[in-house]
Amino acid sequence: MTTQEIMNQGEEYFLHTYNRYPVVLDHGDGVYLYDTEGKKYLDFCAGIAVFALGYNQPALNEAVKNQVDKIVHTSNYFYNEPSVEAARKLCQASGLEKVFFCNSGTEAIEGAMKSALRYAYNRDGQPGHEIIAMKHSFHGRSLGALSLTGNAHYQDPFKPLISGIHFAEYNNLESVKALINEKTCAIVLEPVQGEGGIYPATEEFLKGIRALCDEHDILMIADEIQCGMGRTGVMFACQRYGVKPDIMTVAKALGCGLPVGAFVTNEKAAALAPGDHGSTYGGNPLVCAAASKVFDLYEELNVLENVKTVGAYLYEKLEALKQECPQIVDHRGIGLMQGLEFSVPVGDIIKKAQDAGLILINAGTNILRFVPPLVITKSDVDAMMEILSPIIHEL
Tell me the domain boundaries of the chain: 3-53+302-393, 59-300
Residue 32 in contact with residue 25, Cβ under 8 Å? no
Own/partner pairs, 28-34, CB within 8 angstroms, 24+ separation = 28/54, 28/55, 28/56, 29/54, 29/55, 29/56, 30/54, 30/55, 30/56, 30/373, 30/375, 31/55, 31/372, 31/373, 31/375, 31/376, 31/380, 33/359
pLDDT tens per residue, range 282-317: 999 999 999 999 999 999 999 999 999 999 999 999
> Does the annotation mark 252 as catalytic?
yes
Q: Which of 252, 293, 308, 322 is catalytic?
A: 252
Assess if CATH 1.10.3720.10 describes domain 3-53+302-393: no
pLDDT tens per residue, range 105-121: 999 999 999 999 999 99
Question: In tens digits, what is the pLDDT along the chain, a chain of 395 residues?
Answer: 999 999 999 999 999 999 999 999 999 999 999 999 999 999 999 999 999 999 999 999 999 999 999 999 999 999 999 999 999 999 999 999 999 999 999 999 999 999 999 999 999 999 999 999 999 999 999 999 999 999 998 999 999 999 999 999 999 999 999 999 999 999 999 999 999 999 999 999 999 999 999 999 999 999 999 999 999 999 999 999 999 999 999 999 999 999 999 999 999 999 999 999 999 999 999 999 999 999 999 999 999 999 999 999 999 999 999 999 999 999 999 999 999 999 999 999 999 999 999 999 999 899 999 999 999 999 999 999 999 999 999 87
Assess if CATH 3.40.50.970 describes domain 59-300: no
Q: Which of 43, 223, 246, 380 is catalytic?
A: 223
